Structure 1
């Protein structure tokens, strides 16, 4: 490409949300993307703290004397919780890595969309990891059958507040 040639415009045309944000907030599509990415990062910071604490706990469990007394079921639950926690960690850190690799490539819209998906799937894996860790701890203290019931209730509780209520609100307030 010669110095005086211009690059083809890579941005997607403004959508309804962009138009609404400009009319109401006087916010350009680029400003909206910047704000959306900043909001995603704030949300991810909250989740990262939780997943890091959970993963730190799970990483130390295998090195405790009590670990040798776990049943095969409890060991499998432990491995599941550990792998789910690691996978959640990867997805919750992914927006930073994605940003670094697409930095100065005019891919902010793609960054925001991908980061939003990373956060949503990361939260889902975090919920499952917490559930698995809860199942492990309750299985050791109460037995597998009772632990299963408590864990199912806890997962339902997480799903209610993290997914069902927001989706209900989203559907209810959609025009």
Structure 2
């Protein structure tokens, strides 16, 4: 394959490209959906634990914020499935892929916020509170590197002019 052919990518129509991109997106969403649904399920059980009553008002607030973020992330990451179902066969797949991609990005951001918030709550309960800020900042930094930094670096480095 020549360099020019490699730069041009695949020989596919707009519809074929949208089909391929939709398949890729749904595979990616499956991974994120599983994680957010498991986390959200665990969050829903916390309120029914005996220790919940002993939490401070601040920790109750952090918990409520975490549950709401988890619910929002779940909605955004399940959204592409509903979108596909409702527009299937309407000849709008390229637009649906763009919209579903946007929902997925929002869902991933909300998942990051949910995980950070859950980590704050867990560490506040499990420790005397002093390392919480630094540990959570480090973990969020790691998420940002893994979820955004490396992909953006790779896209910039490997995208042909």
1:39 aligns with 2:56: no
Please give the alpha-carbon distance, in whole angstroms, between the structure 2 residues aligned to 1:91 and 1:66. Answer: 31
User: Aligned residue pairs: how many?
Assistant: 155
Alpha-carbon deviation of 1:101? 1.6
Among 60, 63, 66, the residue aligned to 1:78: 63
Alpha-carbon deviation of 1:28? 1.7
Please give the alpha-carbon distance, in whole angstroms, between the structure 2 residues aligned to 1:99 and 1:50. Answer: 21
Q: State the Cα deviation string for residues 108-163 of structure 1 (Å, max 9, x = none).
A: 01110001111111011001101111110000011333212211111111011001
Name the TM-score, length of structure 1 as normaliser: 0.84
Name the TM-score, length of structure 2 as normaliser: 0.91
Q: Matches of residues 31-110 of structure 1 in structure 2 within 5 Å? A: 31-110=16-95
Please give the alpha-carbon distance, in whole angstroms, between the structure 2 residues aligned to 1:104 and 1:143. Answer: 56
Q: CA RMSD in A?
A: 1.5
1:131 aligns with 2:116: yes
Higher relative contact order (CA 8 A, sep 6+): 2
The structure with more radius of gyration: 1
Structure 2 residues without counterparts, runs of 5 or longer? none
Find the residue that maps to 1:152 and give its secondary structure. helix
Q: What's the counterpart of residue 142 of structure 2?
A: 157
Find the residue that maps to 1:126 and give its secondary structure. helix
Q: What's the counterpart of residue 15 of structure 1?
A: none
Please give the alpha-carbon distance, in whole angstroms, between the structure 2 residues aligned to 1:145 and 1:86. Answer: 29
Q: What's the counterpart of residue 102 of structure 2?
A: 117
